Amino acid sequence: MSTALIMTGLAALGAFVGLMGRMVLRCRGAADEIRALRERNDALVAENGRLLTMVEFDDLTAARSRRYLRELFARTHQDGSNAMIFVDLDEFKSVNDGFGHRAGDGFLRRIAEALHRECRETETLFRHGGDEFCIYLRAVALDEAARRAEAFVRVVHRTEVDLGGVKVRRTASAGVARIDAGQDMMGALYHADEALYAAKQVGGNCVRVTEGETLKTMIARRTGPRAEDLAEAIRREEITYYVQPIYDTRAGRAVGVEALMRWVRSDGDVLLPAKFIDMMTRSRQGGLLPPDSVSVDLAQSFCPAHEQLYCAFNISARFLERSVEDNMDFARTLTRGLDPSQVVLELVESTAIRNTERAREMLQQLRAHGLRIALDDFGTGFSNFERLQQFEVDIVKIDRRFVRGLGAGQADRGILRALHALSRDMGFSVIAEGVETAEELRALQEIGIYNAQGYLLGRPETVSYWQSRIAQPLSPGFCLRKTA
């Protein structure tokens, strides 16, 4: 083989090796490029997911964001079959103040988790801000939505969070609103918030529902009188009491009256407490909302003339927060010259009580002085029977919601029967509130509940109106029919 041939062969081999090398390099470059592209893609997907999470979820809790809800809301046809629940923790500020904001955040996270777990497939939880959560419910009847709201409120109350060794729980309030056909998200939230406001107004730890007329009155309440007008009204003694009789329908006579606050304006307009009670709670330190002297005047003018009757006053959560000495002084003044059992204090069952132990002690002392304690609006909260265990009470007043429709087959008698049986065991008496029809009264009597209050038997009127009529026997038509 000639040298030239060898040289040519070697050159060709060199070129081939070079070509192969370049090809290998190019392939290697392509693989690197593919790997880099893949990595870039993965990073983009992750970033996209992170952004989506940021947009769709609340940054503190596991709940969805408002933005997500807005999109979901727009995607769902609003045909009047959906509902909105607004849940707000009671006294959450004290968690932040007492344990610091970081602990407060942790608390909210746990609450959100618990609420999220409670949600069904057709329910979406989102955080509205602060300690406010909303649940958007699809295809649900309003009464079912109200039951769901009670379940959410219960979940909050059950959730105990360990904050640096201290076990902390909070109650919650909820407002429920049906979302009308074609309504936008802001409207739905506004209505649920109105209902929440009503729940807070009666002390929280309960659920309120808005619908039609109720909603209108709630909005009117918000745009009601101003704080300055109220201060002036108190000064001019326009805040006064009307009274409504409470009857023993077996004996056919009145057993007492309930004092119901009214604002009688100089133009003759009479405002119901719903119009101004909230403002009054915020602006006054008092416990019975009208100045104590108004209550004393009523007890001292009404009770001596009617020794068989008691006078019942509604007390607010504030009353339970006053000092025991102040309240005992007040109780002594109220009952001066009377049999103290002629005075009853009504505590609303759903009132949020900050310090149960202290409240129990306060009520015990008042009872020891001879006053009687009633649990009002029984059945409106969710801790009905728990409250009965917590506090010794003399009277339980069943809320109108359990009375409405009785006798017409629209009401559930179970709770009334249970309460009646319990009242015998525990030794308290039962009064049915808001009795409006003869059928309701008859059904109550059949169960064995004879004490009743309501428009059927007598409306709230001025003290002078009832002073002269209260001793009259009840119309025989309303008394228990004796069975042969």
Which residues of this chain interact with ligand C2E, rule CB under 6 A?
244, 260-261, 272-274, 277, 288-290, 314-316, 346, 348, 376-377, 400, 433-436, 453-455, 460
Output 171 or 244, the one with its CB closest to Mg ion.
Answer: 244
Taking a C-beta distance cutoff of 8 angstroms, is the pair 195, 206 a contact? Answer: no
Among residue numbers 104 through 123, which ones bind Mg ion (CB under 5 A)?
A: none
* Distance in Å, CB of 436 to ligand C2E, minimum: 4
Task: Mention every residue, 6+ apart, whose C-beta is less than 8 A from residue 269.
Answer: none
Among residue numbers 350 through 379, which ones bind Mg ion (CB under 5 A)?
A: 376-377
Which option in Mg ion, ligand C2E, none does residue 434 bind, with CB closer than 5 to 8 A by kind? Answer: ligand C2E
Output 84 or 309, the one with its CB closest to ligand C2E.
Answer: 309
Which option in Mg ion, ligand C2E, none does residue 316 bind, with CB closer than 5 to 8 A by kind? Answer: ligand C2E
Among 249, 314, 342, 451, the residue binding Mg ion under the rule CB under 5 A is 314
Among 88, 278, 346, 349, the residue binding Mg ion under the rule CB under 5 A is 346
Output 16 or 455, the one with its CB closest to ligand C2E.
Answer: 455
* Distance in Å, CB of 225 to ligand C2E, minimum: 15
Output 238 or 377, the one with its CB closest to Mg ion.
Answer: 377
* Distance in Å, CB of 270 to ligand C2E, minimum: 10
Output 183 or 314, the one with its CB closest to Mg ion.
Answer: 314
Taking a C-beta distance cutoff of 8 angstroms, is the pair 181, 77 a contact? Answer: no
Which option in Mg ion, ligand C2E, none does residue 277 bind, with CB closer than 5 to 8 A by kind? Answer: ligand C2E
Q: What angle do CA 321, 322, 323 make, to 5 degrees?
A: 115
* Distance in Å, CB of 195 to ligand C2E, minimum: 17
Phi, psi of 260 (to 5 degrees): -120, 125
Pick the piece of the chain touching Mg ion (CB under 5 A) from 126-134, 161-169, 289-297, 425-433.
425-433
Output 289 or 443, the one with its CB closest to ligand C2E.
Answer: 289
* Distance in Å, CB of 241 to ligand C2E, minimum: 7
Output 107 or 378, the one with its CB closest to ligand C2E.
Answer: 378
349 binds Mg ion (CB under 5 A): no
Which option in Mg ion, ligand C2E, none does residue 272 bind, with CB closer than 5 to 8 A by kind? Answer: ligand C2E
* Distance in Å, CB of 293 to Mg ion, minimum: 20
Residues of this chain that interact with Mg ion (CB under 5 A) are 314, 346, 376-377, 433
